Structure 1
């Protein structure tokens, strides 16, 4: 890759919040008496919470979101961690002169709180959340927004994420797409959407920059 800016997904890519997300959904589903169905809802990770709430409880989406936020806050600090090597990777990228940004379907408040808690915020220049766009991922709008903030053209940027939503958004925006296998999706699931590169570690990612 020949890039000047690197965009990162947040949950499942930079921060390991999959256990927190699963626990929170389990509590919400139990509270509302919704069928768990082997955690099928986890396949929606990467979409905005409002969209997920509307899918499972269209008439009570706001209540679903409020309950989700309340449950998640109780274990947020306990179950929010940067993936091993994430902070160091960001520091390396920044010191090499790359622009950096986060493109996430998380709401702005919890996204910024997660970045601050993990220390990742020190190495991120721009953050685009579900609250900042009209059409979230897999639409390319959030990626275009981040590129605008970083004054970077699509052909000079890469976007790494752990779900197909990230890959599709990046491809539609015209950036180099990188699938990360340590998050929500398997290598096979990522490959179905043909990212430019699939990596199994931060070292492998850095080697391809």
Structure 2
């Protein structure tokens, strides 16, 4: 039995367009003409609190609220499924592996995405923003998942599309995998030396055999 811990946005579900459109909506209203969609790519990965405290520390809570309102309203319009995700999750579950999500999103937003994908039943649980005091790249969320799953670190893989995911896994002492479909690119992820690089979700079926 192996444990696979997945980031959510940009790893299991393509939320890139949704996230960029949401940031542009919020930032254009507050800082007209100062940000482009390309600028918003760097905001994908960190928590909203981290991002908005850097942009406007005295208005972070207000901007987060506006972000969540728009993001919720347009969620299903702009998200897309990545090729092979559900089929691979189904096979991993069939093989008896434990699957969990470790995300910086709120749990209700993770649940909405999973329902869109019809994938809730594959996962033992999902860890969201409200479950931890420190988010990725701190190891706390990964360590919490390990504690719940009762699987040794050497049999655990953290999978994600951002450096936060890779570093959180490394900081927790588990193996890591980057996804080449990250909006920031495979080259970006390779800087952080993940143990594996997925070019298609189904690559996991081979990787788990070696864990």
TM-score between the two structures when normalised by the length of structure 1: 0.94
1:184 paired residue number: 183
Residues 31-63 of structure 1, C-alpha deviations (whole Å, 9 max, x = no match): 101520563332131111112121111101111
2:135 paired residue number: 136
Q: Name segments (4+ residues, structure 1) moved above 3 Å.
A: none
Instruction: Give the conservation status (yes or no) of the 8 Å contact 2:21–2:37.
Output: no
Instruction: Give the conservation status (yes or no) of the 8 Å contact 1:143–1:170.
Output: yes
The CA deviation at 1:206 is: 1.8
Q: Does 1:16 align with 2:14?
A: yes
Ranges in structure 2 where 5+ consecutive residues have no aligned partner: none
Instruction: Give the conservation status (yes or no) of the 8 Å contact 1:18–1:183.
Output: no
Pairs aligned (count) = 207
SS in 1 for 2:178: strand
Distance 1:155 1:208 in 2: 13
Residues 108-130 of structure 1, C-alpha deviations (whole Å, 9 max, x = no match): 11111111221121101121111
1:46 paired residue number: 45
2:117 paired residue number: 118
The CA deviation at 1:73 is: 1.9
1:7 paired residue number: 5
TM-score between the two structures when normalised by the length of structure 2: 0.93
SS in 2 for 1:190: helix
Distance 1:177 1:40 in 2: 27
Q: Does 1:62 align with 2:61?
A: yes
Instruction: Give the conservation status (yes or no) of the 8 Å contact 1:7–1:157.
Output: yes
Instruction: Give the conservation status (yes or no) of the 8 Å contact 1:163–1:184.
Output: no
Distance 1:130 1:45 in 2: 15
Distance 1:38 1:126 in 2: 33
The CA deviation at 1:204 is: 2.1
Distance 2:41 2:144 in 1: 26
Distance 1:40 1:137 in 2: 22
2:88 paired residue number: 89
Ranges in structure 1 where 5+ consecutive residues have no aligned partner: none
1:76 paired residue number: 75
Measured on the aligned residues, the alpha-carbon RMSD in Å equals 1.4
Distance 2:19 2:6 in 1: 19
